[in-house]
Amino acid sequence: MAPGDLTIVRAYVSQMQTLTTDGPVPLTVLTEQERLFQEAVREFARTEVAPKVMEMDRAQAMDPGVVRRMFELGLMGVEIPEDLGGTGADFFTSVLVVEELSRIDPSVGVLVDVQNTLVINALLRWGTPEQRTHWLSRLAKDTVGAYALSEVGSGSDAFALQCRARQDGDGWKIDGRKMWITNGADAGLYIVFATVDVDAGYKGITAFLVERGTPGFDVGKKEDKLGIRASSTCELIFDGVSVGADRVLGAVGQGYKVAIETLNEGRIGIGAQMLGLAQGALDHTVRYIQQREQFGRTIASFQGVQFQIAEMATEIEAARLLVYNAARLKAAGEQFVVQAAMAKLFASETAQRVASACIDLHGGYGFTTDYPVAKLYRDAKIGTIYEGTSNMQKQTIAKVLMR
């Protein structure tokens, strides 16, 4: 991809629109256009992201040039309509983007994931025409988004919110704190969930659009994390933050619906992130075992090593089919909640198993920071925690199946 060149993206979208009109796309295989698009994103990640991965990890910050290039290439506004400056593609395309970026750096993958599968999706579904026109054009051009739901006492119990919003004339004032907010240090727009009526329980929750720089709003402590260290994870502080009525996303008291429906989609994105991570770890390991020699031959020639590679490749392919299937269902407007939970559960646990096994196959070198698998091992741990722990995914699957 040349700087600012969206030709391949536009051609891909045009082809996909034709395919959609002519008939359904197969669930678990890529069309030729999708494959070419995937290869273009892979080449961008390999040539422009990979050289900066370890530097970003050490600095615990995203390289501004990488973010700028992803805006130029349309990767930060995959589903935003073309007339608003976006790529105009579908949800499945955003999943391909997250997978390929995460193959090189899951920190970059999750920045793009939150932007596309959470923030943009929420605005596309719940935004007024005026909100979509104003904010989506900015999110396509140069503004990073963040999704502020979690709090100190509100993790898996997502709606135990202490953040409050009280009516103030025609608008609202927000007070409280948010924790563990991905893209917190990089964002210009935050979707903030606050309770407007404590007595109404979860039906008192409302989603607000809060812009960086609004008086009373500050980005607080940046977490010093085990993995995905280039991805900013921050505390947000709201002290009498005034927002107008036009900053309510969806209806007042409907924030729980915004959160649930958006997170169901976001789980597919995290599945794609973990899928890409696992594939990246395996890619590094396959190269390594064909170069490393022990007992006078490469360790790739040992049957025990070959069996481990085969098992990992099979698990990764199973995760890929689960993620792709959930994404296809969502893009087609079909029911996908169980499939999203399964994809997130399996892909995140596969990523941990594969990254661990890849460390083993690298031996002592795998335990050093000289080889990429050490970083991917650290990055993998978050997959079973954020956007719904593994236990929460299991609970979702079981509840739906037992209705």
**pLDDT of 44 higher than 50:** yes
How far is Cα 76 from Cα 115, in angstroms, rounded to an integer?
6
In this prediction, residue 13 carries a pLDDT of 56
Return mean pLDDT, the chain: 93
Of all helices (H) and strands (E), which one includes residue 362?
A: helix 337-362
How far is Cα 23 from Cα 80, in angstroms, rounded to an integer?
23
**pLDDT of 330 higher than 60:** yes
Q: Is 388 left (phi over 0), alpha (psi -120 to 50) or beta?
A: left
Query: What average pLDDT does the segment 305-315 reach?
Result: 98
Q: Where are the domains of the chain?
A: 7-143, 147-253, 262-401
Give the tens place of pLDDT for each residue, 262-300.
999 999 999 999 999 999 999 999 999 999 999 999 999
Closest Cα to residue 191, out of 109, 118, 278? Answer: 118
Closest Cα to residue 31, out of 39, 23, 40, 19? Answer: 19
Based on the residue annotation, tell me whether 99 is a catalytic residue of this protein.
no
Which residue's entry shows tokens 């995203």?
62
Fold of 147-253: Butyryl-CoA Dehydrogenase, subunit A; domain 2 (2.40.110)
24 secondary structure, DSSP code: P
Structure tokens at 159: 């709606």
Q: Which residues, in sequence order, are bridge partners of residue 146?
A: 190
Q: In terms of DSSP bridges, do strands 171-182 and 205-211 run parallel, antiparallel, or are they unpaired?
A: unpaired
Q: Which residues, in sequence order, are bridge partners of residue 206?
A: 194
Q: Which is catalytic among the residues 34, 100, 315, 387?
A: 387
Is residue 22 very low, low, confident or very high in pLDDT (cuts 50, 70, 90)?
very low
Q: For domain 7-143, say whether CATH 1.25.40.10 is its number.
A: no
Structure tokens at 161: 């919110």
Superfamily name and number for 262-401: Butyryl-CoA Dehydrogenase, subunit A, domain 3 (1.20.140.10)
Is residue 180 very low, low, confident or very high in pLDDT (cuts 50, 70, 90)?
very high
Is residue 11 very low, low, confident or very high in pLDDT (cuts 50, 70, 90)?
low
